[in-house]
Structure 1
């Protein structure tokens, strides 16, 4: 099953936006913990969740740029 190029482009763009948002949240919550003195459990939970989201979006972004087996000329 092949995916349309427009669909791939939209998914790649969505993955990039997700990475940017999760990285921004990770940065903000990191500053809130270290500089602002707010070290509540909620801030830590948001920081952990945004870090996991960044890893997930990064993996999704990486997988969207992988060549399919059909493009390589052989099948798995």
Structure 2
């Protein structure tokens, strides 16, 4: 069975630290029994002045992470 990157959920909600928005991504999917499960949680990916920039960066990072693993 092949898994599609579209079957995953990306949560790019940044955290606020020292006046910056720290980008990070939480990628989740579903276990064999259908229950939600974390697939990968990144560390901090970088600091940004704008929340939108942190969200955009983390989303793109997670999409690339998924694409390299599920081509």
Return the TM-score normalized by structure 1: 0.32
Return the TM-score normalized by structure 2: 0.34
Task: From the two aligned structures, give the one with the greater helix fraction.
Answer: 1
Task: From the two aligned structures, give the one with the greater strand fraction.
Answer: 2
- Higher alpha-carbon Rg: 1
